[in-house]
Amino acid sequence: MATNRVVLIVVDALRFDTACSHMGYMQHLIENGKAARYKVRSEVPSLSRPLYETILTGTPPVVHGINSNRTVRLSTQQSLFHLAKNSGKTTAAAAYYWVSELYNSAPFNEMQDRIQLDTKLLIENGLFYFEDHYPDSHLFAEASWLMEKKQPDFLYIHPMNVDDDGHKFTADSKEYRNRVLSVDALLSVFLPLCKEQGYDVIITADHGMTADGNHGGNTAEDRHVPLFVMSEKIAAGISDELLSQLMIAPLACRLLEIEPSKAMVPLKMEECLLV
């Protein structure tokens, strides 16, 4: 059931190699012809706020100007939220508060901006958390509520616990690996709901995590992240191609069937698109 609706899930700090070795449910979908997997090379600096903007606008930091986590302002680019809304589609997000600061209101007010249900905003239905240890399980429950009650055309979901455990224990730790297992288990419950509602699903990460418990640099551990796609428009299986992170926004536009912004680079996955 194709409805030209998309769920974009950004698992903060999910390394490519750990995703491949510890996300058993996602591998199950790949082996059974229900999902595709790619390796993505993130932009640099491999930091969260710059790469949220890159993923959602399809532009690098040198263009969008969000160069560090300390840059607190609204986006100046045409994001997926802008493009969807301008195309008559509805938007929603269950995400970290930095996403609100990029697209709805900056700076974030913890007492007022936690729940934002306002059709005048770019993110019309937003549930935003502001503590890194906020449980991923709660976040996916909130995303499920948004999907069921608000029926958005574009739903953005951003869990933080993998990043939180990576900083606390490093990527070379049982805690980090077990957290990736936990996210995979949550996806095994949530993704069937997406399918029932007729959504295409994109799952990726902003950046990776190093054995030092950090990120921001130019190593494969910093920059290589997974891209999983569940859509009848994308051929299932594993691709050996290394994709630019700039491909994610135009891919979402293709699945939403909306025009990409003029600043986005052309989508270079044509051989993988079925329709």
Tens digit of pLDDT for each residue in 239-261? 988 999 999 999 999 999 999 99
Mean pLDDT, rounded, for 177-184: 98
Residue 126 has pLDDT above 90, yes or no: yes
Mean pLDDT, rounded, for 135-142: 98
Q: Which fold has domain 5-272?
A: Alkaline Phosphatase, subunit A (3.40.720)
Per-residue b/e over 38-50, b at no fewer than 16 CB within 10 Å? bbbbbbbbbbbbb
In the block, residue with structure tokens 């996403």: 99
Mean pLDDT, rounded, for 209-214: 98
Residue 129 has pLDDT above 80, yes or no: yes
Tens digit of pLDDT for each residue in 64-114? 999 999 999 999 999 999 999 999 999 999 999 999 999 999 999 999 999
pLDDT band at residue 274 using 50, 70 and 90 as cut-offs = low
Among the listed residues 167, 182, 251, the one whose alpha carbon sits nearest the alpha carbon of residue 216: 167
Tens digit of pLDDT for each residue in 23-57? 999 999 999 999 999 999 999 999 999 999 999 99
- At residue 59, what is the residue type? T
Give the pLDDT of residue 192: 98
Phi, psi of 180 (to 5 degrees): -65, -40
Give the pLDDT of residue 269: 77
The helix (H) or strand (E) run that includes residue 129 is: strand 125-129
Give the pLDDT of residue 3: 74
Give the pLDDT of residue 39: 97
Give the pLDDT of residue 1: 45
Q: How many CB atoms lie within 10 A of CB 211?
A: 13
Question: Which residue ranges make up each domain of the chain?
Answer: 5-272
Give the pLDDT of residue 50: 98
What distances in angstroms separate CA 177 from CA 116, 171, 209, one per listed residue?
33, 7, 11
Give the pLDDT of residue 275: 54
